[in-house]
Amino acid sequence: DTAVSQTPKYLVTQMGNDKSIKCEQNLGHDTMYWYKQDSKKFLKIMFSYNNKELIINETVPNRFSPKSPDKAHLNLHINSLELGDSAVYFCASSQDWRNQPQHFGDGTRLSIL
Amino acid sequence: ELKVEQNPLFLSMQEGKNYTIYCNYSTTSDRLYWYRQDPGKSLESLFVLLSNGAVKQEGRLMASLDTKARLSTLHITAAVHDLSATYFCAVGGGGSQGNLIFGKGTKLSVKP
């Protein structure tokens, strides 16, 4: 059983389009995250939700909007895609933000043409 | 602002050799994690280190944490090809819940 699942795995689209990435976790965790990994493999947190409440909102363009309909889901919507948005986006979850590791999904590779 | 530095960023080693990856961080934290990432794959949690002097071992990998020196090490013993991957350390940031700051990763290549 997949613990943290993201869809789609690959997303190829044109500049200016709007797209969404979905994430679901079946671990019963309270906290979920979105990370961006750039072409140099550098990972940076974008957002974090705890029990559907936004708790981390790093310096991210407001074209990116996370939505958490329930604590098992955290989706990421991106408006007006730009070339610089090309990256791998990882969803992650953790039970206890303080002491537990974060479990990562397989990533969504976003390519902007 | 918390900064995390790993070195080396690239490591090519022969099978059977030992080596250490270093992770330094700039401000106080009591949470440090090591992850492994294979090419094109997700991140796999290796170790969770939560206290000064913590040492954890799994197979050929051993991680330690010195919170006073703000340093963690990942020691590789008698490397094998299967250990080839990118290794990240991540440090718990002080403010926001669950905020992890990642190092840039160490790409390890183990050659026969």
Give the residue carrying structure tokens 């869809």.
A7
Distance of residue A15 Cα from the nearest chain B Cα, in angstroms: 24
Average pLDDT, chain B: 92
In a mutagenesis test of the A interface, which of B49, B87, B100, B102 is the best target, namely the one with the most A β-carbons within 10 Å? B100
Between chains, do B33 and A100 touch, taking CB under 8 Å as contact? no
The confidence band for B97, taking pLDDT boundaries of 50, 70 and 90, is low
In the prediction, which pLDDT does A69 show? Answer: 92
**Which chain A residue lies closest to B104 (C-alpha atoms)?**
A42
pLDDT of residue A7: 97
Contact A41 B37 (CB under 8 A): yes
The CB density around residue B3, as the number of other CB atoms within 10 Å, is 11
pLDDT at B29: 84
Contact A47, A33 (CB under 8 A): yes
Interface residue A50 vs chain B (CB under 8 A): yes
Edge-to-edge strand order for the sheet containing A4-7? Answer: A4-7, A19-25, A73-78, A64-70
Q: How far is CA B89 from CA A15, A62, A68, in A?
A: 34, 29, 28
State the number of CA atoms in the 13 A half-sphere of A110 facing the CB.
Answer: 28
Cα separation, B32 vs B58, in Å, equals 16
Min Cα–Cα distance to chain A from B39, Å: 10
CB B2 within 8 Å of CB B27: yes
CB contact under 8 A, A56 and B98: yes
Whether A87 contacts A36, CB under 8 Å: yes
Question: Is the pLDDT score of B80 beyond 90?
Answer: yes
3-state secondary structure of A39: coil
Q: Closest chain A residue to B34 measured between Cα atoms? A: A101
Residue B93: pLDDT over 80: no
Mind listing the pLDDT tens digit for each residue in B17-53? 999 999 999 988 878 999 999 999 999 999 999 888 9
Chain B positions in Cβ-Cβ contact with residue A50 (cut-off 8 Å)? 97-98
Q: Cβ contacts of residue A84 below 8 Å, gap of 6+?
A: none
Low-confidence stretches of chain A (pLDDT beneath 50): none
Q: How far is CA A51 from CA A69, A71, A73, A87, B96, in A?
A: 10, 5, 10, 27, 15
- At B112 the pLDDT is 86
DSSP code at position A100: S
DSSP code of residue B83: G
